[in-house]
């Protein structure tokens, strides 16, 4: 019994250690030209539209270490109704959980959370508007990942994989281009996408980065009046996915038809049942922090009665597919 407890303790401590990262190492944050607030998390931009950007924006970061400096701070960049930038909201960061909220408005805007400290701030969890962005479930040997898929082209640099959406010699390259990907796992530091496209002057440019999260991710690039190149770039090959479509066409995978899949009851008290999936290999339940809570094999039902009330993920796998959905435990 002592040996078992010691092993569990070691596993627990090891998991905590590996769950920590720094703002400088995480792909959630970009860099700024400001010497004080060196790193930035982009919550919303004006491209998101008022229905999204006008909402309250809340970041929760659990800080585990503030090395070196005596004081670490954050500040908010937001655009006002006039379009001018505002930096009036600022504050100190402390060890432990920090919750930072920017109030809702009735107009379209950009909101960015900037952090001091040169990227040295260490943290073990980060969420935006209730969605956990770190830690994430890391990919295993059985996951279908970008790096081993023939759908993606490799290249050198910070964006080593890309999906070709349109080429300049194609007439329909003018049309809107949309990718939809169901992400099942991510590298420890997170991952992101970026757009490579031809502008009206005929120059190829990159823009419009976004963070990838577990579950469905989508990005649409609007149609234009000229033929163009357009690619969706990805920051890592260790991005797992169960389905991928481009402009409504499924690419390379026999994907789940999400319209026929149900997890019920939801909210659930005792047993969660999965319908619409044949030949289930495994059903796994994860907490929002990525911890595996329960796992069963060759069955469409899993017991959750021992879980605390809250939001969880259920990951369902069969021979060729993986799908992840959220549920609420009463």
Which strands make up the sheet holding 240-246, listed edge to edge?
Answer: 215-221, 177-185, 240-246, 249-250
Q: Which residues of the chain have pLDDT under 50?
A: 1-18, 253-260
pLDDT at 289: 67
pLDDT at 252: 57
pLDDT at 14: 37
- Tell me the pTM: 0.51
CATH entry, 2-134, from 2.60.120, 2.60.40, 3.30.70, 3.30.420: 2.60.120
Sign of the C-alpha dihedral computed for residues 195, 197, 200 and 201 taken in this order: positive
Give the torsion through C-alpha atoms of 118, 123, 129, 132, to 10 deg: 130
What is the rounded distance in angstroms from the CA atom of residue 207 to the CA atom of residue 84?
22
What fold is seen in the domain 258-329? Immunoglobulin-like (2.60.40)
The predicted-structure confidence for 46-101, as pLDDT tens digits, reads as follows 988 899 899 999 999 999 999 886 799 999 999 999 999 999 999 999 999 999 99
**Residues 168 and 227 sit within 8 Å (Cβ to Cβ):** yes
What is the rounded distance in angstroms from the CA atom of residue 261 to the CA atom of residue 164?
30
pLDDT at 16: 39
CATH entry, 146-250, from 2.40.160, 3.30.70, 2.60.120, 1.10.12: 2.60.120
In angstroms, the Cα distances linking 159 to 193, 195, 202, 212, 305 are 8, 10, 22, 14, 43
pLDDT at 98: 96
Establish whether domains 146-250 and 258-329 are of one fold: no
What are the residue ranges spanned by the domains of the chain? 2-134, 146-250, 258-329
């Amino acid at each position: 019994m002592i040996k078992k407890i010691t092993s569990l303790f070691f596993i627990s401590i090891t998991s905590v250690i590996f769950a920590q990262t720094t703002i400088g190492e995480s792909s959630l944050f970009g860099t700024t030209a400001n010497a004080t607030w060196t790193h930035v998390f982009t919550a919303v931009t004006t491209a998101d539209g008022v229905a999204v950007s006008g909402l309250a924006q809340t970041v929760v970061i659990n800080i585990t270490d503030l090395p070196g400096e005596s004081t670490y701070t954050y500040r908010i960049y937001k655009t006002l109704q006039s379009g001018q930038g505002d930096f009036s909201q600022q504050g100190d960061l402390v060890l432990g959980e920090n919750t930072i909220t920017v109030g809702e408005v009735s107009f379209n805007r950009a909101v960015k959370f900037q952090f001091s400290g040169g990227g040295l701030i260490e943290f073990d969890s980060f969420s935006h508007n209730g969605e956990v962005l770190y830690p994430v479930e890391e990919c295993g040997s059985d996951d279908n990942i970008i790096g081993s898929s023939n759908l993606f082209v490799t290249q050198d640099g910070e964006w080593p994989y890309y999906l070709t959406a349109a080429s300049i010699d194609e007439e329909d390259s003018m049309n809107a281009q949309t990718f939809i990907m169901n992400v099942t796992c991510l590298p420890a530091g997170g991952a992101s996408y970026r757009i490579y496209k031809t502008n009206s002057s005929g120059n190829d440019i990159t823009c419009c980065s976004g963070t990838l999260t577990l579950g469905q991710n989508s990005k649409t690039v609007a149609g234009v009046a000229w033929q163009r190149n357009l690619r969706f770039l990805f920051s890592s090959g260790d991005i797992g996915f169960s389905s991928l479509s481009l402009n409504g066409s499924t690419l390379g995978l026999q994907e789940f038809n999400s319209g026929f899949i149900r997890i019920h009851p939801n909210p659930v008290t005792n047993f969660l049942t999965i319908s619409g999936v044949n030949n289930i290999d495994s059903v796994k339940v994860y907490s929002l922090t990525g911890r595996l809570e329960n796992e069963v094999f060759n069955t469409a039902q899993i017991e959750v009665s021992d879980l605390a009330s809250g939001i969880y993920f259920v990951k369902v796998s069969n021979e060729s597919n993986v799908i992840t959905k959220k549920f609420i435990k009463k």
